[in-house]
Chains A and B, each alone.
Chain A
Amino acid sequence: RRDVLVLTPWLAPIVWEGTFSRDILNAQYMQKNLVTGVVTFAVKKYWFFIEGFMSSANKYFLAGHQVNFYLFTDNPEQISHLQMAPENHLFVITVQNHSQWQDISMSRMDIISRYIRSQFQYEVHYLYSIDIDVQLFEHIGVEIIDTLMGTISSWQYTARRESKSYETRTESQAAIPKEEGDFYYTASFYGGSVAEVYKLTRACFKGVMEDRENDIEARWHDESHLNKYLLYHKPTRLLSPEYYWDEEL
Protein backbone atom coordinates (compact mmCIF):
# COMPACT_ATOMS: atom_id res chain seq x y z
CA ARG A 1 0.00 0.00 0.00
CA ARG A 2 1.60 3.26 -1.10
CA ASP A 3 -1.50 5.39 -0.85
CA VAL A 4 -1.66 5.39 2.93
CA LEU A 5 0.61 5.74 5.94
CA VAL A 6 1.62 2.26 7.09
CA LEU A 7 4.07 3.14 9.84
CA THR A 8 3.84 5.78 12.57
CA PRO A 9 6.85 8.05 13.32
CA TRP A 10 7.54 5.81 16.31
CA LEU A 11 7.61 2.72 14.07
CA ALA A 12 4.29 1.19 15.07
CA PRO A 13 2.64 -0.51 12.08
CA ILE A 14 -0.73 0.85 10.91
CA VAL A 15 -2.76 -2.12 9.78
CA TRP A 16 -4.46 -1.76 6.40
CA GLU A 17 -5.71 -4.46 4.08
CA GLY A 18 -2.81 -5.29 1.80
CA THR A 19 -0.06 -4.67 4.35
CA PHE A 20 0.00 -8.10 5.92
CA SER A 21 -0.37 -11.80 5.36
CA ARG A 22 -2.84 -13.34 7.75
CA ASP A 23 -1.42 -16.80 7.01
CA ILE A 24 2.05 -15.84 8.20
CA LEU A 25 0.59 -14.18 11.28
CA ASN A 26 -1.63 -17.14 12.08
CA ALA A 27 1.35 -19.49 11.81
CA GLN A 28 3.18 -17.31 14.34
CA TYR A 29 0.27 -17.30 16.77
CA MET A 30 -0.63 -20.94 16.53
CA GLN A 31 2.68 -21.70 18.23
CA LYS A 32 1.75 -19.57 21.20
CA ASN A 33 -1.71 -20.81 22.31
CA LEU A 34 -3.05 -17.39 23.08
CA VAL A 35 -6.35 -16.61 24.71
CA THR A 36 -7.93 -13.27 23.85
CA GLY A 37 -10.75 -11.57 25.70
CA VAL A 38 -13.40 -9.26 24.26
CA VAL A 39 -15.24 -6.92 26.60
CA THR A 40 -18.52 -5.41 25.44
CA PHE A 41 -21.41 -3.64 27.13
CA ALA A 42 -25.13 -4.02 26.41
CA VAL A 43 -26.89 -1.71 28.83
CA LYS A 44 -30.52 -0.56 28.63
CA LYS A 45 -31.77 -0.53 25.05
CA TYR A 46 -28.44 -1.75 23.73
CA TRP A 47 -29.52 -5.34 24.48
CA PHE A 48 -31.01 -5.10 20.99
CA PHE A 49 -27.53 -5.30 19.46
CA ILE A 50 -26.40 -8.38 21.32
CA GLU A 51 -27.45 -11.01 18.84
CA GLY A 52 -26.06 -9.19 15.80
CA PHE A 53 -22.76 -8.48 17.50
CA MET A 54 -22.29 -11.91 19.01
CA SER A 55 -23.16 -13.90 15.93
CA SER A 56 -20.88 -11.83 13.68
CA ALA A 57 -18.04 -11.63 16.21
CA ASN A 58 -18.27 -15.35 16.89
CA LYS A 59 -17.83 -15.96 13.18
CA TYR A 60 -15.33 -13.25 12.21
CA PHE A 61 -13.34 -12.18 15.24
CA LEU A 62 -10.09 -14.10 15.61
CA ALA A 63 -11.68 -17.11 13.93
CA GLY A 64 -9.86 -20.30 14.84
CA HIS A 65 -8.33 -18.84 17.98
CA GLN A 66 -9.58 -19.02 21.54
CA VAL A 67 -11.75 -16.02 22.40
CA ASN A 68 -13.57 -15.30 25.68
CA PHE A 69 -16.44 -12.88 25.22
CA TYR A 70 -17.30 -10.97 28.40
CA LEU A 71 -20.74 -9.45 27.91
CA PHE A 72 -21.71 -6.89 30.56
CA THR A 73 -25.44 -6.27 30.67
CA ASP A 74 -28.15 -5.02 33.01
CA ASN A 75 -30.63 -7.27 31.32
CA PRO A 76 -29.37 -10.85 31.29
CA GLU A 77 -32.86 -12.27 30.69
CA GLN A 78 -32.98 -10.68 27.25
CA ILE A 79 -30.13 -12.78 26.02
CA SER A 80 -31.38 -15.60 23.85
CA HIS A 81 -29.29 -18.71 23.48
CA LEU A 82 -26.24 -17.90 21.40
CA GLN A 83 -24.40 -20.64 19.55
CA MET A 84 -20.66 -20.25 20.09
CA ALA A 85 -17.79 -21.69 18.03
CA PRO A 86 -15.98 -24.51 19.86
CA GLU A 87 -12.92 -22.37 20.67
CA ASN A 88 -14.99 -19.49 22.02
CA HIS A 89 -16.71 -18.91 25.34
CA LEU A 90 -19.38 -16.42 26.39
CA PHE A 91 -19.52 -15.04 29.93
CA VAL A 92 -22.54 -12.89 30.81
CA ILE A 93 -21.90 -10.46 33.66
CA THR A 94 -24.70 -8.43 35.20
CA VAL A 95 -24.15 -4.75 35.88
CA GLN A 96 -26.27 -1.89 37.12
CA ASN A 97 -27.45 0.72 34.72
CA HIS A 98 -26.84 4.46 35.16
CA SER A 99 -29.08 7.37 34.37
CA GLN A 100 -27.14 8.88 31.45
CA TRP A 101 -25.40 7.10 28.60
CA GLN A 102 -22.26 9.14 29.23
CA ASP A 103 -22.05 7.68 32.71
CA ILE A 104 -22.36 4.18 31.37
CA SER A 105 -19.73 4.97 28.81
CA MET A 106 -17.29 6.32 31.37
CA SER A 107 -17.90 3.71 34.03
CA ARG A 108 -16.84 1.09 31.49
CA MET A 109 -13.25 2.08 32.16
CA ASP A 110 -13.74 1.43 35.85
CA ILE A 111 -15.53 -1.86 35.31
CA ILE A 112 -12.92 -3.15 32.87
CA SER A 113 -10.00 -2.31 35.16
CA ARG A 114 -11.66 -3.91 38.17
CA TYR A 115 -12.49 -7.09 36.29
CA ILE A 116 -8.98 -7.32 34.84
CA ARG A 117 -7.62 -7.20 38.33
CA SER A 118 -10.03 -9.72 39.82
CA GLN A 119 -10.54 -12.07 36.91
CA PHE A 120 -9.38 -11.37 33.35
CA GLN A 121 -5.66 -11.29 34.10
CA TYR A 122 -5.91 -14.97 34.99
CA GLU A 123 -7.95 -15.91 31.95
CA VAL A 124 -6.61 -14.06 28.91
CA HIS A 125 -3.35 -12.73 27.48
CA TYR A 126 -4.87 -9.98 25.38
CA LEU A 127 -8.04 -7.99 25.94
CA TYR A 128 -10.08 -5.85 23.56
CA SER A 129 -12.93 -3.48 24.30
CA ILE A 130 -15.43 -3.29 21.44
CA ASP A 131 -18.68 -1.37 21.22
CA ILE A 132 -21.70 -3.65 20.96
CA ASP A 133 -23.47 -1.66 18.26
CA VAL A 134 -21.23 -2.98 15.50
CA GLN A 135 -21.41 -5.97 13.26
CA LEU A 136 -18.40 -7.55 11.68
CA PHE A 137 -18.66 -8.24 7.95
CA GLU A 138 -15.10 -9.35 7.35
CA HIS A 139 -12.54 -11.30 9.30
CA ILE A 140 -10.62 -9.46 11.95
CA GLY A 141 -7.66 -11.61 12.86
CA VAL A 142 -4.35 -11.79 14.66
CA GLU A 143 -3.09 -8.68 12.88
CA ILE A 144 -4.68 -6.80 15.79
CA ILE A 145 -2.64 -8.54 18.48
CA ASP A 146 0.03 -6.37 20.08
CA THR A 147 0.96 -4.82 23.40
CA LEU A 148 -1.12 -1.65 23.05
CA MET A 149 -3.51 -1.09 20.18
CA GLY A 150 -5.59 1.92 19.10
CA THR A 151 -7.93 2.26 16.14
CA ILE A 152 -7.87 5.42 14.05
CA SER A 153 -11.33 6.87 14.00
CA SER A 154 -12.71 7.05 10.50
CA TRP A 155 -14.30 10.39 11.29
CA GLN A 156 -10.98 11.98 11.95
CA TYR A 157 -8.71 10.25 9.49
CA THR A 158 -8.35 13.11 7.04
CA ALA A 159 -8.89 15.93 9.53
CA ARG A 160 -5.96 18.23 10.14
CA ARG A 161 -4.64 18.42 13.64
CA GLU A 162 -6.54 21.55 14.71
CA SER A 163 -9.92 20.16 13.81
CA LYS A 164 -9.49 16.86 15.63
CA SER A 165 -11.97 16.33 18.42
CA TYR A 166 -9.52 16.42 21.28
CA GLU A 167 -10.57 18.01 24.53
CA THR A 168 -8.85 21.41 24.65
CA ARG A 169 -10.12 22.95 27.89
CA THR A 170 -7.17 22.82 30.25
CA GLU A 171 -9.44 22.25 33.25
CA SER A 172 -10.12 18.73 32.03
CA GLN A 173 -7.69 15.87 32.65
CA ALA A 174 -8.22 14.84 29.05
CA ALA A 175 -6.92 18.13 27.67
CA ILE A 176 -4.40 17.93 24.84
CA PRO A 177 -2.29 21.04 24.16
CA LYS A 178 -2.98 22.82 20.90
CA GLU A 179 0.01 21.78 18.85
CA GLU A 180 -0.04 18.15 19.92
CA GLY A 181 -1.70 14.93 18.90
CA ASP A 182 -0.75 12.10 16.54
CA PHE A 183 -4.08 10.55 15.55
CA TYR A 184 -7.66 10.57 16.79
CA TYR A 185 -8.49 7.15 18.22
CA THR A 186 -11.96 5.72 18.66
CA ALA A 187 -13.06 4.34 22.03
CA SER A 188 -15.14 1.78 20.16
CA PHE A 189 -12.25 -0.59 19.55
CA TYR A 190 -9.02 -0.62 21.51
CA GLY A 191 -6.99 -3.16 23.47
CA GLY A 192 -3.71 -4.89 23.99
CA SER A 193 -2.01 -7.03 26.57
CA VAL A 194 -4.03 -7.42 29.72
CA ALA A 195 -1.39 -5.47 31.69
CA GLU A 196 -1.42 -2.52 29.29
CA VAL A 197 -5.21 -2.39 29.10
CA TYR A 198 -5.29 -2.35 32.89
CA LYS A 199 -2.97 0.66 32.98
CA LEU A 200 -4.95 2.43 30.29
CA THR A 201 -8.38 1.90 31.85
CA ARG A 202 -7.12 2.88 35.30
CA ALA A 203 -5.57 6.07 33.97
CA CYS A 204 -8.67 6.97 31.99
CA PHE A 205 -11.01 6.34 34.86
CA LYS A 206 -8.80 8.38 37.16
CA GLY A 207 -9.08 11.25 34.67
CA VAL A 208 -12.86 10.83 34.54
CA MET A 209 -13.16 10.97 38.33
CA GLU A 210 -10.94 14.02 38.64
CA ASP A 211 -13.01 15.80 36.02
CA ARG A 212 -16.19 14.87 37.84
CA GLU A 213 -14.79 16.39 41.03
CA ASN A 214 -13.95 19.56 39.12
CA ASP A 215 -17.43 19.61 37.65
CA ILE A 216 -16.31 19.25 34.07
CA GLU A 217 -17.00 16.54 31.52
CA ALA A 218 -14.73 15.87 28.57
CA ARG A 219 -16.05 16.63 25.12
CA TRP A 220 -16.25 13.03 23.96
CA HIS A 221 -16.33 11.42 27.37
CA ASP A 222 -14.14 8.33 27.78
CA GLU A 223 -12.88 8.72 24.22
CA SER A 224 -11.24 12.05 25.11
CA HIS A 225 -9.43 10.43 28.00
CA LEU A 226 -8.38 7.53 25.77
CA ASN A 227 -6.87 9.95 23.29
CA LYS A 228 -4.95 11.74 26.00
CA TYR A 229 -3.57 8.44 27.27
CA LEU A 230 -2.52 7.20 23.84
CA LEU A 231 -0.77 10.47 23.06
CA TYR A 232 1.59 10.00 25.96
CA HIS A 233 1.71 6.20 25.88
CA LYS A 234 2.08 5.51 22.22
CA PRO A 235 0.32 2.43 20.89
CA THR A 236 2.59 -0.29 19.55
CA ARG A 237 0.11 -0.98 16.77
CA LEU A 238 -2.62 1.04 15.12
CA LEU A 239 -5.61 -0.21 13.18
CA SER A 240 -6.64 1.82 10.17
CA PRO A 241 -10.18 3.20 9.91
CA GLU A 242 -11.03 -0.01 7.98
CA TYR A 243 -11.40 -1.63 11.39
CA TYR A 244 -13.99 0.71 12.73
CA TRP A 245 -16.66 2.09 10.57
CA ASP A 246 -19.48 4.44 11.19
CA GLU A 247 -22.43 3.91 8.88
CA GLU A 248 -23.19 7.61 8.87
CA LEU A 249 -20.05 8.33 6.84
Chain B
Amino acid sequence: RRQDVLTVTPWLAPIVWEGTFNSEILDSAYRPLNLTIGVTAFAIGKYTRFVGHFLESAEKHFMKGYRVNYYIFTDNPETIPNVQLQPGRRFVIVPIKKYPSWQEISMRRMEAINKHIAETSHREVDYLFCLDIDMVFYNAWGPETLGDIVAAIHPGYFNVPRSQFPYERRRSSAAYIPDGEGDFYYGGAVFGGLVKKVYEFTKTCHMTILMDKANGIMAAWQEESHLNRHFLSHKPSKVLSPEYLWDDRKPKPPEIHLIRFSTVDKNYKEVRD
Protein backbone atom coordinates (compact mmCIF):
# COMPACT_ATOMS: atom_id res chain seq x y z
CA ARG B 1 0.00 0.00 0.00
CA ARG B 2 1.00 3.65 -0.46
CA GLN B 3 1.22 6.06 2.44
CA ASP B 4 3.12 8.79 0.62
CA VAL B 5 0.28 9.77 -1.68
CA LEU B 6 -3.48 10.32 -1.55
CA THR B 7 -5.18 7.10 -2.69
CA VAL B 8 -8.85 7.98 -2.21
CA THR B 9 -10.57 11.24 -3.12
CA PRO B 10 -12.93 12.98 -0.64
CA TRP B 11 -15.83 11.54 -2.63
CA LEU B 12 -14.38 8.05 -2.18
CA ALA B 13 -13.12 7.50 -5.71
CA PRO B 14 -9.88 5.48 -5.77
CA ILE B 15 -6.74 7.20 -7.08
CA VAL B 16 -4.78 4.55 -8.91
CA TRP B 17 -1.07 4.33 -8.08
CA GLU B 18 1.37 1.44 -8.34
CA GLY B 19 1.16 -0.41 -5.04
CA THR B 20 -2.52 0.26 -4.39
CA PHE B 21 -3.90 -2.66 -6.36
CA ASN B 22 -3.40 -6.32 -7.11
CA SER B 23 -3.58 -7.09 -10.83
CA GLU B 24 -4.39 -10.74 -10.34
CA ILE B 25 -7.48 -10.02 -8.25
CA LEU B 26 -8.65 -7.42 -10.74
CA ASP B 27 -8.05 -9.70 -13.72
CA SER B 28 -9.96 -12.53 -12.07
CA ALA B 29 -12.91 -10.18 -11.57
CA TYR B 30 -12.83 -8.56 -15.04
CA ARG B 31 -11.66 -11.26 -17.47
CA PRO B 32 -14.77 -13.43 -17.12
CA LEU B 33 -16.94 -10.47 -18.13
CA ASN B 34 -15.69 -10.73 -21.72
CA LEU B 35 -15.34 -7.01 -22.09
CA THR B 36 -14.27 -5.07 -25.13
CA ILE B 37 -12.28 -1.93 -24.43
CA GLY B 38 -12.29 0.86 -27.02
CA VAL B 39 -9.59 3.45 -27.55
CA THR B 40 -10.07 6.66 -29.52
CA ALA B 41 -7.08 8.61 -30.76
CA PHE B 42 -6.89 11.50 -33.21
CA ALA B 43 -4.16 11.53 -35.84
CA ILE B 44 -4.72 14.67 -37.91
CA GLY B 45 -2.22 16.21 -40.35
CA LYS B 46 1.32 15.51 -39.26
CA TYR B 47 0.14 13.65 -36.15
CA THR B 48 -0.25 10.49 -38.22
CA ARG B 49 3.48 9.95 -37.71
CA PHE B 50 2.78 8.95 -34.09
CA VAL B 51 0.32 6.17 -34.87
CA GLY B 52 2.81 3.36 -35.43
CA HIS B 53 4.66 3.78 -32.16
CA PHE B 54 1.41 4.37 -30.23
CA LEU B 55 -0.13 1.14 -31.50
CA GLU B 56 3.00 -0.99 -31.14
CA SER B 57 3.42 0.09 -27.54
CA ALA B 58 -0.30 -0.37 -26.85
CA GLU B 59 -0.05 -3.91 -28.12
CA LYS B 60 2.66 -4.59 -25.56
CA HIS B 61 1.11 -2.85 -22.56
CA PHE B 62 -2.53 -1.81 -22.94
CA MET B 63 -5.20 -4.14 -21.53
CA LYS B 64 -3.29 -7.31 -22.30
CA GLY B 65 -5.56 -10.29 -22.59
CA TYR B 66 -8.67 -8.24 -23.28
CA ARG B 67 -10.50 -7.50 -26.52
CA VAL B 68 -9.52 -4.05 -27.75
CA ASN B 69 -10.81 -1.87 -30.59
CA TYR B 70 -8.58 1.01 -31.63
CA TYR B 71 -10.49 3.82 -33.37
CA ILE B 72 -8.01 6.09 -35.14
CA PHE B 73 -9.68 9.31 -36.29
CA THR B 74 -7.78 10.79 -39.20
CA ASP B 75 -8.03 13.10 -42.21
CA ASN B 76 -5.37 11.09 -43.96
CA PRO B 77 -6.12 7.34 -43.95
CA GLU B 78 -3.39 6.47 -46.46
CA THR B 79 -0.63 7.58 -44.15
CA ILE B 80 -1.73 5.29 -41.30
CA PRO B 81 0.77 2.41 -41.05
CA ASN B 82 -0.38 -1.17 -40.92
CA VAL B 83 0.45 -2.47 -37.46
CA GLN B 84 0.35 -6.14 -36.52
CA LEU B 85 -2.16 -6.70 -33.74
CA GLN B 86 -2.62 -9.54 -31.22
CA PRO B 87 -5.69 -11.78 -31.60
CA GLY B 88 -8.91 -10.27 -30.27
CA ARG B 89 -7.72 -6.78 -31.10
CA ARG B 90 -8.99 -4.66 -34.00
CA PHE B 91 -8.02 -1.45 -35.66
CA VAL B 92 -10.59 0.85 -37.31
CA ILE B 93 -9.92 4.05 -39.25
CA VAL B 94 -12.53 6.77 -38.73
CA PRO B 95 -12.22 9.44 -41.43
CA ILE B 96 -12.85 12.99 -40.23
CA LYS B 97 -12.27 16.43 -41.62
CA LYS B 98 -9.33 18.58 -40.70
CA TYR B 99 -10.03 21.94 -39.11
CA PRO B 100 -7.81 24.97 -39.88
CA SER B 101 -6.19 25.45 -36.44
CA TRP B 102 -4.75 22.93 -33.98
CA GLN B 103 -6.92 24.40 -31.22
CA GLU B 104 -10.05 23.80 -33.26
CA ILE B 105 -8.93 20.27 -34.09
CA SER B 106 -8.38 19.59 -30.40
CA MET B 107 -11.75 20.94 -29.33
CA ARG B 108 -13.74 19.15 -32.03
CA ARG B 109 -12.62 15.84 -30.56
CA MET B 110 -15.47 15.92 -28.05
CA GLU B 111 -18.03 16.20 -30.82
CA ALA B 112 -16.36 13.55 -32.96
CA ILE B 113 -16.10 11.06 -30.11
CA ASN B 114 -19.70 11.67 -29.09
CA LYS B 115 -20.97 11.21 -32.63
CA HIS B 116 -18.92 8.07 -33.15
CA ILE B 117 -20.24 6.53 -29.93
CA ALA B 118 -23.82 7.17 -31.04
CA GLU B 119 -23.24 5.76 -34.52
CA THR B 120 -20.86 2.92 -33.89
CA SER B 121 -18.86 2.27 -30.78
CA HIS B 122 -21.74 1.99 -28.30
CA ARG B 123 -22.50 -1.32 -29.97
CA GLU B 124 -18.93 -2.50 -30.01
CA VAL B 125 -17.32 -1.65 -26.70
CA ASP B 126 -18.15 -1.66 -22.99
CA TYR B 127 -15.54 0.84 -21.88
CA LEU B 128 -13.93 3.60 -23.92
CA PHE B 129 -10.69 5.49 -23.34
CA CYS B 130 -9.94 8.69 -25.22
CA LEU B 131 -6.19 9.15 -25.51
CA ASP B 132 -3.82 11.53 -27.21
CA ILE B 133 -1.90 9.92 -30.08
CA ASP B 134 1.46 11.59 -29.54
CA MET B 135 2.14 9.29 -26.58
CA VAL B 136 3.69 5.90 -25.92
CA PHE B 137 2.96 3.10 -23.43
CA TYR B 138 5.95 2.03 -21.35
CA ASN B 139 4.33 -0.15 -18.69
CA ALA B 140 1.12 -2.04 -18.01
CA TRP B 141 -2.22 -0.33 -18.29
CA GLY B 142 -4.82 -2.82 -17.10
CA PRO B 143 -8.30 -3.30 -15.59
CA GLU B 144 -7.33 -1.20 -12.57
CA THR B 145 -8.23 1.72 -14.85
CA LEU B 146 -11.79 0.60 -15.55
CA GLY B 147 -14.61 2.58 -13.99
CA ASP B 148 -17.81 4.47 -14.75
CA ILE B 149 -16.13 7.85 -15.27
CA VAL B 150 -12.33 7.94 -15.34
CA ALA B 151 -10.06 11.00 -15.36
CA ALA B 152 -6.29 11.33 -15.02
CA ILE B 153 -4.26 13.84 -13.01
CA HIS B 154 -2.15 16.11 -15.20
CA PRO B 155 1.58 15.47 -14.56
CA GLY B 156 2.42 19.14 -14.31
CA TYR B 157 -0.01 19.87 -11.49
CA PHE B 158 -0.26 16.95 -9.11
CA ASN B 159 2.07 18.43 -6.55
CA VAL B 160 1.04 22.02 -6.87
CA PRO B 161 -1.47 24.07 -4.84
CA ARG B 162 -4.94 24.54 -6.28
CA SER B 163 -4.46 28.28 -6.84
CA GLN B 164 -1.87 27.42 -9.49
CA PHE B 165 -4.11 25.11 -11.50
CA PRO B 166 -4.51 26.58 -15.02
CA TYR B 167 -8.29 26.50 -14.92
CA GLU B 168 -10.15 28.95 -17.13
CA ARG B 169 -10.50 32.05 -14.93
CA ARG B 170 -12.61 34.36 -17.10
CA ARG B 171 -16.20 34.48 -15.93
CA SER B 172 -17.49 34.82 -19.46
CA SER B 173 -16.36 31.29 -20.35
CA ALA B 174 -18.55 28.26 -19.73
CA ALA B 175 -15.41 26.54 -18.43
CA TYR B 176 -14.91 29.12 -15.67
CA ILE B 177 -13.78 27.83 -12.27
CA PRO B 178 -13.58 30.44 -9.49
CA ASP B 179 -10.59 30.82 -7.16
CA GLY B 180 -10.76 28.50 -4.22
CA GLU B 181 -12.60 25.78 -6.12
CA GLY B 182 -11.38 22.63 -7.79
CA ASP B 183 -10.30 19.16 -6.74
CA PHE B 184 -7.51 18.26 -9.19
CA TYR B 185 -6.20 19.47 -12.51
CA TYR B 186 -7.12 16.70 -14.92
CA GLY B 187 -5.28 16.17 -18.21
CA GLY B 188 -7.18 16.25 -21.49
CA ALA B 189 -4.93 13.55 -22.96
CA VAL B 190 -6.57 10.73 -20.98
CA PHE B 191 -10.20 10.25 -20.02
CA GLY B 192 -12.74 7.47 -20.32
CA GLY B 193 -15.23 5.19 -18.66
CA LEU B 194 -18.34 3.25 -19.52
CA VAL B 195 -19.23 4.03 -23.12
CA LYS B 196 -22.59 5.45 -22.02
CA LYS B 197 -20.94 7.80 -19.54
CA VAL B 198 -18.33 8.96 -22.06
CA TYR B 199 -21.19 9.70 -24.45
CA GLU B 200 -22.85 11.88 -21.81
CA PHE B 201 -19.86 13.92 -20.78
CA THR B 202 -18.45 14.42 -24.29
CA LYS B 203 -21.85 15.81 -25.22
CA THR B 204 -21.84 18.21 -22.27
CA CYS B 205 -18.28 19.34 -22.97
CA HIS B 206 -19.08 19.90 -26.63
CA MET B 207 -22.10 22.01 -25.62
CA THR B 208 -20.03 24.21 -23.34
CA ILE B 209 -17.38 24.54 -26.07
CA LEU B 210 -20.08 25.72 -28.49
CA MET B 211 -21.41 28.18 -25.91
CA ASP B 212 -17.96 29.73 -25.69
CA LYS B 213 -17.70 29.87 -29.46
CA ALA B 214 -20.99 31.74 -29.62
CA ASN B 215 -19.58 34.22 -27.10
CA GLY B 216 -16.34 34.64 -29.02
CA ILE B 217 -14.14 33.15 -26.34
CA MET B 218 -11.77 30.17 -26.32
CA ALA B 219 -10.86 28.54 -23.02
CA ALA B 220 -7.26 28.69 -21.79
CA TRP B 221 -6.49 25.03 -22.52
CA GLN B 222 -9.23 24.27 -24.98
CA GLU B 223 -11.25 21.15 -24.25
CA GLU B 224 -9.06 20.38 -21.25
CA SER B 225 -10.53 23.46 -19.52
CA HIS B 226 -14.04 22.29 -20.30
CA LEU B 227 -13.25 18.80 -19.07
CA ASN B 228 -11.97 20.22 -15.78
CA ARG B 229 -15.13 22.30 -15.37
CA HIS B 230 -17.27 19.24 -16.02
CA PHE B 231 -15.39 16.97 -13.63
CA LEU B 232 -15.65 19.56 -10.88
CA SER B 233 -19.44 19.33 -10.82
CA HIS B 234 -19.69 15.69 -11.95
CA LYS B 235 -16.90 13.98 -10.11
CA PRO B 236 -15.07 11.05 -11.70
CA SER B 237 -15.66 7.67 -10.09
CA LYS B 238 -11.99 6.78 -10.54
CA VAL B 239 -8.91 8.96 -10.85
CA LEU B 240 -5.66 7.80 -12.47
CA SER B 241 -2.38 9.04 -11.00
CA PRO B 242 0.12 10.78 -13.31
CA GLU B 243 1.69 7.34 -13.94
CA TYR B 244 -1.04 7.11 -16.57
CA LEU B 245 -0.37 10.49 -18.12
CA TRP B 246 3.25 11.46 -17.86
CA ASP B 247 5.44 14.01 -19.62
CA ASP B 248 8.93 12.70 -20.37
CA ARG B 249 10.36 16.18 -20.29
CA LYS B 250 9.72 16.24 -16.52
CA PRO B 251 12.17 14.73 -14.05
CA LYS B 252 10.64 11.75 -12.25
CA PRO B 253 9.68 12.63 -8.65
CA PRO B 254 9.79 9.98 -5.84
CA GLU B 255 5.99 9.54 -5.88
CA ILE B 256 6.07 8.22 -9.43
CA HIS B 257 7.23 4.62 -9.18
CA LEU B 258 6.24 3.62 -12.66
CA ILE B 259 5.60 5.51 -15.89
CA ARG B 260 2.94 3.79 -17.94
CA PHE B 261 1.94 6.26 -20.63
CA SER B 262 3.93 9.32 -21.62
CA THR B 263 4.39 12.02 -24.21
CA VAL B 264 6.67 11.62 -27.17
CA ASP B 265 9.23 14.37 -27.35
CA LYS B 266 8.43 16.57 -30.29
CA ASN B 267 8.77 20.00 -31.79
CA TYR B 268 5.32 21.47 -31.10
CA LYS B 269 5.73 24.31 -33.54
CA GLU B 270 6.69 22.04 -36.40
CA VAL B 271 4.09 19.34 -35.89
CA ARG B 272 1.15 21.67 -35.32
CA ASP B 273 1.69 23.53 -38.58
Contacts and interface: CB of A to CB of B under 8 A. Distances in A.
B122 to A, nearest CB: 22
Contacts of A5: 1
A12 B10 CA distance: 14
Contacts of B26: 10-11
Interface in B124-176: 144
A6 B11 contact: no
B22 interface: yes
A13 interface: yes
Nearest to B16: A11
B1 A11 contact: no
B10 A10 contact: no
B8 interface: yes
Interface in A1-38: 2, 5-7, 9-13, 15, 19-21, 24-25, 28
Nearest to B145: A11
A219 interface: no
Interface residues of A, number: 19
Nearest to B30: A10
A10 B12 contact: no
Contact residues of A: prevailing secondary structure = loop
Contact of B144 (A2, A11, A234): A11
Interface string B1-45: 101000110111110100011100110010000000000000000
B235 interface: yes
A237 interface: yes
A110 interface: no
B25 A13 contact: no
B25 A234 contact: yes
B96 to A, nearest CB: 34
B14 A11 contact: yes
A59 B21 CA distance: 37
B3 A237 contact: no
A19 B21 contact: no
Contacts of B14: 7, 11-13
B10 A7 contact: no
Given A5-B1, A7-B7, A10-B29, A143 B12 contact: yes
Contacts of A24: 10-11, 235
Contacts of A13: 8, 12-14
A6 B7 contact: yes
Interface in A196-248: 234, 237
Contacts of A143: 12
B70 to A, nearest CB: 25
Contacts of B226: none
Contacts of A25: 11-12
A11 B21 CA distance: 6
A25 B13 CA distance: 11
A15 B12 contact: yes
Contacts of B206: none
A9 B1 CA distance: 8
A7 B20 contact: yes
A10 B23 CA distance: 8
B229 interface: no
Nearest to B14: A11
B193 to A, nearest CB: 14
25 contacts: A6-B7, A6-B8, A7-B1, A7-B8, A7-B14, A7-B20, A9-B21, A9-B22, A10-B26, A11-B14, A11-B16, A11-B26, A11-B144, A12-B14, A13-B12, A13-B13, A13-B14, A15-B12, A19-B10, A20-B11, A20-B12, A24-B11, A25-B12, A234-B29, A237-B12
Given A13-B13, A143-B12, 7 more contacts: A6-B8, A9-B22, A10-B21, A10-B26, A11-B16, A13-B8, A25-B11
Interface of B: 1, 3, 7-8, 10-14, 16, 20-22, 25-26, 29, 144, 235, 238
Interface of A: 2, 5-7, 9-13, 15, 19-21, 24-25, 28, 143, 234, 237
